[in-house]
Amino acid sequence: MIKIISNKNGKEKSNLISLFDEGSKNKVRAFHKTLLNYKPTPLIEMNKYADIVGVNKLWVKDESHRMGLKAFKVLGASYAITNILYEKIGWDKNELSFEKLFNEDLSQFTFVTATDGNHGRGVAWISNQFGCKSFVFMPNTSSEVRINNIEEFATEVFIVDGNYDMASGKAKEYAKQKNAILVQDSSWEGYEKIPLIIMQGYITLIDEIYEQLNGDNFSHIFLHCGVGSMPAAIEAYLVNKFGTDKPITNIVEPNKADCFYKSIEINDGKPHSVYGKLDSVMAGLSCGTPSKLAWDIISKHSNYFISCDDEIAKLGMREFSKVNIISGESGAVSLGILKYAFDNDKSIFEKLEIDSSSKIMLISTEGDTDQIFYKQVLSEID
């Protein structure tokens, strides 16, 4: 059900950490405050549930409330696309404003991306807001609901006969053929500038958390990992803020797409891919290849790597619903880990250095982005 491995390589500091410093944070936060319907998502203190699993405190950052899109991904997409458009127009990027671009004719710009759902919806939504075209590539395991969610905003959605990595390859080819702009939240050799800006956009998520904690802090944080861009951004933020005294970070992946876990297990310092359908119900985490930039940060600074099956995500969804929090399959897996560990295998807590004094931060990265599947899971018997 759940496998855990510790990071024995976390000794060298990533050179990318400085790109997520206070100055970067201030620029990102100032930009997001110009979004028309931006406001911080709730940070919920789950006191009763902390007692249930035997820890001191438990919080969840609820991204189901993010700007009507039910997921955090729009933070990165909006920051990247606005940066790109400012650069194309020749404006000063030190004064980014979402609203200022509404006065411009931007219809000549076309954006392309690959997605399992939430990133593509963010790219399509931002493009639509600016009057730009967007073309989104999705794996054939994508649910009809997620496809429809993106078609609401995108110019066109293409379904690829293959997994997320294949969709990413098709998006890359299409952008080159059409002379369009690829906006991918994964990076590889020769494609790093835009993914880095997307990652910086995710700083807002963790900075909101620290504003809402009002001086308190967590000892552990669980970070759900697909290609790794969001976990890496949060990891870098924590290293900047606390150095070696940062909270313990746990990287969580589905066992059908656990490329970071497998890479740490191989232990040669290099990222490795996993192959196959990558057909976990945790669609947003079903990615077979680590992002180059994310790997550099996560492999050097994260503490533990967790690989778990789909039933853990479903368990988390049902547990969140009991406290009136709507959390989708890629958002709920960490609560599922805590509940499973408490009920079935307390050695998991020991492996993650969790005890009765621990203060744990969870991020429910999405709401019911597939409403049909969400209702189906909640109808199942625990």
Q: Which residues are catalytic?
A: 73, 116
Judge residue 128's burial from the number of C-beta atoms within 10 Å of its C-beta, 0-12 exposed, 13-18 middle, 19 or more buried.
Answer: middle
The continuous run of DSSP H or E covering 112 comes out as strand 110-114
- What residues contact residue 381 under an 8 Å CB cut-off, 6+ apart? none
Judge residue 187's burial from the number of C-beta atoms within 10 Å of its C-beta, 0-12 exposed, 13-18 middle, 19 or more buried.
Answer: buried
**What is the rounded CA–CA span in Å between residue 370 and residue 365?**
13
Locate 143 and state its tokens: 């649910």
Burial 141-164 (b: 16+ CB within 10 A, else e): bbbeebbebbeebbbebeebebbb
SS3 string, 211-231, reads HHHCCCCCCEEEEECCCCHHH
With CA atoms as reference, report the closest residue to 60 among 355, 333, 344, 381: 333
Identify residue 134 by its one-letter amino acid code.
Answer: S
**What is the rounded CA–CA span in Å between residue 373 and residue 317?**
11
Locate 150 and state its tokens: 């993106």
The SS3 of residue 377 is helix
181-182 sheet: strands from edge to edge: 156-160, 133-139, 110-114, 181-182
